[in-house]
Chains A and B, each alone.
Chain A
Amino acid sequence: MLTTTVPAALQTRGRRARPRAGRLATVAVFIAPALALFLLLVVAPILVAGYASAYKWNGFGLPENFVGLDNFTRAFADPTFRGDLWRALVLIGLSLVVQLPVALGLAMLLNQPLKGRGIYRLIFFAPYVLSEVTTAVLFTLVFSPNRGLGDGLARWLGADAGTVFADPDTVLFALFLVISWKYFGFHMVLYLAGRQNIPRELTEAATTDGASSWQVFRHVTLPLLGPTIRVSVFLSVIGTIQLFDMVWVLTGGGPIHSSETMAVTMYQYGFRRFEVGYASAISIIMFVLSFAFALFYQRVIMRRDTEGAITTKGVQR
């Protein structure tokens, strides 16, 4: 193409001289593959889920048995699904109160000059690249009765380990521990990156003014990390709403639904019992929850981030 000769007049006028229709054709051609994939495999399925949620349907043939909002009222009346909502709240709460602060604390530690901190960081982040399935299978065995690491440790300490994943009272916390094992390093890396974007002069100035390291953290670092923290909270909440792989492999949602999540309930009804209409309604509730949360979060909580805080975030838009 480079060898094509272009009339001199056109050449000097640059790209604006390109015919309009040609430009639109270029746009259309370049965007077509992405748009086709996206509309067919992302947007359409979500619309179909919305449509199917108004029917009692086994997933074969066309849905015929219109039930309106019955699937939704059924979900909200179902103790298991209400439990799903409650468990999501508990897991989100635990993440916000335990997992993310620990990640933040470690990021602050690893931000200091420390020999070998590269290795620590490498190790803390490593679980993130393992799949949730591998992680879950490993931890089923770590906590397996009689042959597991947990049992061995308990015996060594002279205690009785019991079975954390088989007890409805402990299973959710055990699940949370495994989630934290896998994901806290991810959040730590986010915080580290955010911390490194804070200009050194700011913390130095505060120190020169006599602020203790806690005061520097509380009044300088933490506010400036705000945007990063808000993104990490966002990812954590959205991730919890759709949690599936880990639970499915670790517990299958049991014992007696005590670790079941919305996605697990949806899978059970959709792929095991072929109640596609009802399962679609659960999908739609998950969708509405994530979308409403995302919208609220962007409008209310992240708004100040886009209104020019003193961070380097200005580059983004």
Chain B
Amino acid sequence: MTTPARRLILHLVSIVIGALIVVPVLFGVLGGFKDNGQLAENPLGLPDPWVVGNYTGILASGVFWRQLANSTLIAVATALAVVGASAMAAFVFARFAFRGREALFTLFAAGLMFPFAVAILPLFILLRSMGLLDNPLGVILPQAAFGLPVTIIILRQFFRTIPAEVEEAATLDGCSPAGFFWRILLPMARPALATVSVLAVVASWNNFMLPLVVFTDQNWWTLPVGVQAFQGQYSDDTARVLAYVVISMIPALGFYAVAERQLVGGLAGGVKG
């Protein structure tokens, strides 16, 4: 079907668009190896000589590692909280009949339409009154709460596909609902749990507005807040900021490389769900 000429055109189009994606990033990577003089004279070419000071300086300073640790802690805790709470809720939504179930489910599903930006101001006031400013829980709990709708929808979908016979067999063997949930349903749902966990981690990792308003203490800053602050602080030192941006991209891209399947599958499946 595909002629060689046509294949060539397809490749050319893909390569051009791929280049539009890659070149800005490559500019960042190479720019980080230049000094500002080089960047001004030669923004496009290879560094000459290669300056490693920008990268090594950042890696040696500890600020980056601290922000990396904060982002990781918050992302993992958010994922645990949202997946745990959602799995429990999705379990009863999928396998129990009770009055008000659909209304309650609709309430959660409607949460998909509540933009985060709408709630941020009262959320901030609420967190302030609960003493959760400059506390990681002040970011973790709201992120988990806003992650509930999509997680519950995906998990309920999946839990419904597990045959009723499995549950009946478990019950006959004397399994309580909690036992069935913990010992049978969750292990069987591992792929779905992986997907929603990956989605939760990425969402938390990239969140900016909430950590921005919750953390005034620099020691709690996450990577997005840190990158933005670094740019503000070193706005004249383009090469150094480029190095910081590039380093901060690495964990996200590394995670993408590892979890690509779950991420892409989760998004594609989310459309149907």
Complex interface: stretch among A70-78, A83-91, A92-100, A110-118? A110-118
Contact assessment for B31 and A141 in the assembled complex, using a CB-CB cutoff below 8 Å: yes
Known: A40-B145, A131-B252. Contact between A152 and B208, CB under 8 A? no
At the interface, is chain A mostly helix, strand, loop or mixed? helix
Known: A2-B175, A34-B148, A49-B122. Contact between A113 and B2, CB under 8 A? yes
Is residue B58 within 8 Å, beta carbon to beta carbon, of the partner chain? no
Contact assessment for B125 and A129 in the assembled complex, using a CB-CB cutoff below 8 Å: no
Contact assessment for A134 and B272 in the assembled complex, using a CB-CB cutoff below 8 Å: no
Contact assessment for A134 and B118 in the assembled complex, using a CB-CB cutoff below 8 Å: no
Q: Give the residues in chain B near A227, CB-CB below 8 Å.
A: 271
Within 8 A of B (CB), among A221-265: 227-228, 231-232, 238, 241-242, 244-245, 248-249, 262-263
Contact with A along B116-140 (1 / 0, CB 8 A): 1111111111100000000000000
* Least CB distance, B270 to chain A, in whole angstroms: 9
CB-contact partner of A126 in B21, B107, B112, B207, under 8 A: B21
Known: A114-B10, A294-B113. Contact between A149 and B23, CB under 8 A? yes
Known: A129-B256, A146-B40, A152-B44. Contact between A231 and B228, CB under 8 A? no
> Bound state CA distance, A112 and B13, in angstroms?
13
Is residue A217 within 8 Å, beta carbon to beta carbon, of the partner chain? no
Contact assessment for B13 and A286 in the assembled complex, using a CB-CB cutoff below 8 Å: no
Sorting the interface of chain A by its residue count into under 10, 10 to 19, 20 to 34 or 35 or more gives 35 or more
Q: Give the residues in chain A near B173, CB-CB below 8 Å.
A: 2
Contact assessment for B121 and A49 in the assembled complex, using a CB-CB cutoff below 8 Å: yes
Contact assessment for A26 and B178 in the assembled complex, using a CB-CB cutoff below 8 Å: yes
Sorting the interface of chain B by its residue count into under 10, 10 to 19, 20 to 34 or 35 or more gives 35 or more
Known: A238-B113, A245-B209. Contact between A129 and B253, CB under 8 A? yes
Contact assessment for B224 and A245 in the assembled complex, using a CB-CB cutoff below 8 Å: yes
Within 8 A of A (CB), among B29-55: 31, 36, 39-40, 42-44
* Least CB distance, B197 to chain A, in whole angstroms: 15
> Bound state CA distance, A4 and B210, in angstroms?
47
> Bound state CA distance, A153 and B19, in angstroms?
14
B117, B123, B125: which has the most chain A beta carbons within 10 Å? Answer: B117
Q: Give the residues in chain A near B22, CB-CB below 8 Å.
A: 123
CB-contact partner of B174 in A4, A34, A138, A139, under 8 A: A4
Is residue A27 within 8 Å, beta carbon to beta carbon, of the partner chain? yes
Contact assessment for A114 and B238 in the assembled complex, using a CB-CB cutoff below 8 Å: no
Contact assessment for A48 and B125 in the assembled complex, using a CB-CB cutoff below 8 Å: yes
Contact assessment for B14 and A26 in the assembled complex, using a CB-CB cutoff below 8 Å: no
* Least CB distance, A276 to chain B, in whole angstroms: 6
Q: Give the residues in chain B near A263, CB-CB below 8 Å.
A: 117
Q: Give the residues in chain A near B23, CB-CB below 8 Å.
A: 149
> Bound state CA distance, A106 and B116, in angstroms?
31
Given pairs A147-B43, A189-B267, A271-B121, 13 additional interface contacts (CB within 8 A): A1-B175, A2-B179, A5-B174, A37-B145, A38-B111, A46-B118, A124-B18, A129-B263, A133-B208, A181-B20, A193-B269, A283-B121, A290-B113
Chain B residues at the A interface, C-beta cutoff of 8 Å = 1-2, 7, 10-11, 13-14, 17-18, 20-25, 27-28, 31, 36, 39-40, 42-44, 81, 84-86, 88-89, 91-92, 96, 98, 104, 107-108, 111-126, 141-142, 144-146, 148, 152, 157, 167-168, 171-179, 181, 183, 202, 205-209, 213, 223-225, 227-228, 231, 238-239, 241-242, 245, 248-249, 252-253, 255-256, 260, 263-264, 267-269, 271-273
